[in-house]
Structure 1
Amino acid sequence: MSLSSAFVSDESDRTDTTSIELIDCPNPCIHHPISHKAPDGLDFPHLNSLKEFVADFADGIKNVFPRRTRNYDRAHALFISWDDDDLDTEGEIVDLEALLKEHFRFTAEAKDFTTSHFKIPSKEYCFQLLEGELVFRRNLYALEESDLLIIYYGGHGKLDKQGHAIWYAFQGPSNAKGGQNPASLDWTRLQGTISQCDGNILLILDSCYATTIGGFHSEWKGIKELLAASGKHDRTTGVSSNSFTRAIIRELKQLQ
């Protein structure tokens, strides 16, 4: 089992989350223009220098996407977002998927290197729908040690009182259509769906509190890697030219 996170320090990873109270994104939401409540990622004290951060981040990208050779016989990139939210992540996902297709020979129709985009329906049974999608992709693309399943999530994230990672569609009822409580699901529970496959899994999580959201357990099989936009107690800069996903896109382009 392997875990890497370009944005997160060891100190942040050691923090116990069992006593954390429910944390909601601030108002204005962290995913919208930066305010005093939402510092830029480079303001966090665990990022000692921009040079060090860029070097660590680039190394993590290169491990998964080598320049000249393929490390895997088969790979699938599953992009996950909400079908209705207040973040407008569609543009970033489209650009990242297009980059994989153009420079790394991923296509939607190919046999061995493919992509798909699953938009979580903002409904009460969203957990079961995403669980079914993960099981389907796991069984197709992560059965062998030479396989790679990339799972990308772009959206809201928070911790509940039990320290579980919660994904949700809207910042609050005021942002959701009809003023209803926003759809949400427990990603900590869903991780068990992919934990026992022999294949390799890369989680790319662009959300608040992403390290806890992507935490791996000792019983997981295969090699599991994490590229996280934030630490256990950190929020992200959101959808912008300086977002985590945009940083990934820039680094991947540099590999060409």
Structure 2
Amino acid sequence: MPRIWKRAAIACVVVSLAGCAAALPPRDTPQSEKVIKQNSDDKEVADGLALIQAGKPQAAIDGPLSDVASRLERQYAKSDDQIYSPRGQALTVAYSAYSGHDVGDKKHPGTGKRVINIGPAWAMAYWARGYAYSDMGRYKEAETELAKALALSPKDSQYLGELAYVNQREGRYDDSFKLYRAAIRNIDLMDVWPDAQKNDFLCRAYGGQGFDLVQLKRYDEAGKAYGACLKLKPDDAKSKAGMEGLRGMKASAAGAGPGK
């Protein structure tokens, strides 16, 4: 049985922060101030990610990540708008399309709220805190943070994949499988990622599904999930191990049949 599927490393997300200029800043703020503020928030998130990579997850949570999250929580605490925190053009357009008019003058279906896209830092601060809590084995706290990230960017594949990983660590394999499925479904919206990075993520997500399906005893589906990863990355060690494990289970089951 392979180890529980590890999610993506965080090094790539600094690139994602740098590649998100399409996000619409808050309304009623001078443009120069908006750009400076967004860049400052992005830098603090990147600083938090660097601390996590340096093996200091609690320092990342207590320092730059909470600084960004708390500041933006205060800024939008009394807002009547529907706030989204996307990265990249595709996610920005997806959330802006939730009503039928131009960005900045939208009505959210069923609520009458204006849809405002503020850039990636807020959701990424929550995601990074969730990642850090997960690294410390504090999965309930991780789940809380990731739910906040997904409230601000519900179609972001990386946030969905991280929550899938946390659910998997908690033994919630059906929930994990469904979240990996959503992450795979939304991969085309991750236009801040190059194709090679998308393929790496997809392989991990398919492998994560395979692990979940083995735990759920849905072995044929698990084989298909591992196979989907291997089509993208034929040398992926974990999916190869997953396939070998499945073959071993089937051989054991055949050997334990009637009359054996």
TM-score by length of 2: 0.32
State which structure, 1 or 2, has the greater radius of gyration over its C-alpha atoms.
2
Q: Which has the higher contact order (CA 8 A, sep 6+)?
A: 1
TM-score by length of 1: 0.32
